[in-house]
Amino acid sequence: MMADPEDHLHNSFAGRGVYLLDDHEVVRRGLRQLIESDGLSVAGESGSAREAVRRIPALRPELVILDD
């Protein structure tokens, strides 16, 4: 029996989580709700790149979602 690729995706981000970078708080809130409703964790978030550059190395998230 083959493992479900979706299970691997969920498990790979479960440890250190996802980091959100967007200058709009309402967007970050919405993304956080979507991510957490899917069983993943949010490691941190920020509204500026300057803050994210400081925080991301310490948190070591598995994935970073950023606004261009």
pLDDT on residue 15: 55
Q: Report pLDDT digits (tens) over 15-68.
A: 579 999 999 999 999 999 999 999 999 999 999 999 999 999 999 999 999 997
Full-model pTM: 0.76
Question: What letter does residue 21 receive in the DSSP assignment?
Answer: E
Structural contact between residues 12 and 42, judged by C-beta atoms closer than 8 angstroms: no
Structural contact between residues 59 and 44, judged by C-beta atoms closer than 8 angstroms: yes
pLDDT on residue 16: 78
Q: Which domains does the chain have, with CATH numbers?
A: 23-68 (3.40.50.2300)
